[in-house]
């Protein structure tokens, strides 16, 4: 079987964004991913408790993490004001621990918009939307420059699974290539902790994502 895996997005359109947030209320495997990320950022080796999420979207992971770890201060980066409005609703009474920072991840100066040096940078289902391996590589390089020693990057994003005969949009590529790009950015021992919702034969655009971890 053959097909194409990818998705069209209108991240600045209020109706589209509301629909996306309603369609993708976290399922059990996605909550598993949030927990894996939480586990990584709570390691004692992480140098500080400020966490930056790239592409915060509706704020589902932010709420999950803030509810479970009272020490973390959170900064959500996004270029979509309409997603920020939904993130505020999701995070609700915990918003006093969150800063929302407007930045375009395609603009290489985005780290200068951050309010503090983070101990961890995290992201889910976002970097593939930048549309190319080069754009993801650039984000990895900026993360390496931004994190202090011991800081951790965790990217839970869509990948192209090994063994597929399907075509994937360019932002979705193999785990081994992510690992190569993380190494090229400077991280010494990047790894993938999991391949979630694997589906080789008849994948949807919301399956096949990995949990990539790299420590500076």
Ligand X SMILES: C[S@@+](CC[C@H](N)C(=O)[O-])C[C@H]1O[C@@H](n2cnc3c(N)ncnc32)[C@H](O)[C@@H]1O
Residue number with the smallest Cβ distance to ligand X: 57
Q: Distance between alpha carbon 213 and the CA centroid of its chain, in Å?
A: 11
Instruction: Output the smallest distance, CB 149 to ligand X, in A.
Output: 26
Tell me the number of residues near ligand X by CB under 6 A.
18
Query: Longest C-alpha distance within the chain, in Å?
Result: 49
Task: Assess contact for 159 and 127: CB atoms under 8 A.
Answer: no
Q: Which of residues 49-78 bind ligand X (CB under 6 A)?
A: 55, 57-58, 60, 78
Site string for ligand X, 107-146 (x = CB under 6 A): -----------------xxx--xx----------------
Nearer to ligand X, 10 or 162 (CB): 10
Distance CA 50, CA 92 (A): 19
Instruction: Output the smallest distance, CB 147 to ligand X, in A.
Output: 18
Q: What is the DSSP string of 87-136?
A: HHHHHGGGGGGEEEEE--TTSTTGGGG-SS--SEEEEES-GGGG-SHHHH
Distance CA 149, CA 119 (A): 9
Instruction: Output the smallest distance, CB 202 to ligand X, in A.
Output: 21
Cα–Cα nearest to 91, from 49, 40, 56, 42:
56
Piece in contact with ligand X (CB under 6 A), picked from 101-109, 113-121, 161-169, 208-216: 101-109
Q: Which residues bind ligand X (CB under 6 A)?
A: 11, 24, 55, 57-58, 60, 78-80, 83, 104-106, 124-126, 129-130
């Amino acid at each position: 079987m053959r097909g194409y895996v990818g998705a069209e997005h209108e991240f600045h359109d209020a109706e589209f964004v509301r629909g996306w947030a309603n369609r993708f209320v976290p399922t059990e495997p996605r909550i598993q991913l949030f927990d894996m990320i939480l586990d990584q950022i709570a390691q004692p080796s992480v140098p500080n408790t400020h966490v930056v999420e790239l592409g915060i979207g509706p704020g589902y992971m932010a709420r999950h993490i803030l509810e479970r770890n009272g020490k973390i201060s959170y900064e959500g980066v996004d270029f979509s004001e309409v997603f920020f409005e939904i993130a505020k609703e999701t995070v609700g009474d915990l918003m006093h621990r969150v800063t929302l920072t407007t930045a375009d991840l395609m603009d290489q100066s985005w780290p200068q918009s951050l309010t503090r040096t983070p101990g961890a940078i995290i992201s889910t289902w976002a970097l593939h939307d930048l549309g190319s391996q080069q754009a993801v590589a650039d984000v990895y390089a900026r993360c390496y420059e931004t994190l202090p020693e011991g800081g951790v990057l965790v990217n839970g994003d869509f990948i192209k699974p090994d063994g597929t005969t399907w075509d994937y949009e360019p932002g979705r590529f193999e785990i081994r290539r992510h690992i190569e790009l993380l190494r090229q950015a400077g991280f010494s021992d990047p790894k993938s902790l999991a391949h979630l919702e694997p589906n080789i034969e008849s994948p949807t655009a919301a399956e096949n994502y990995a949990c990539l971890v790299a420590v500076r």
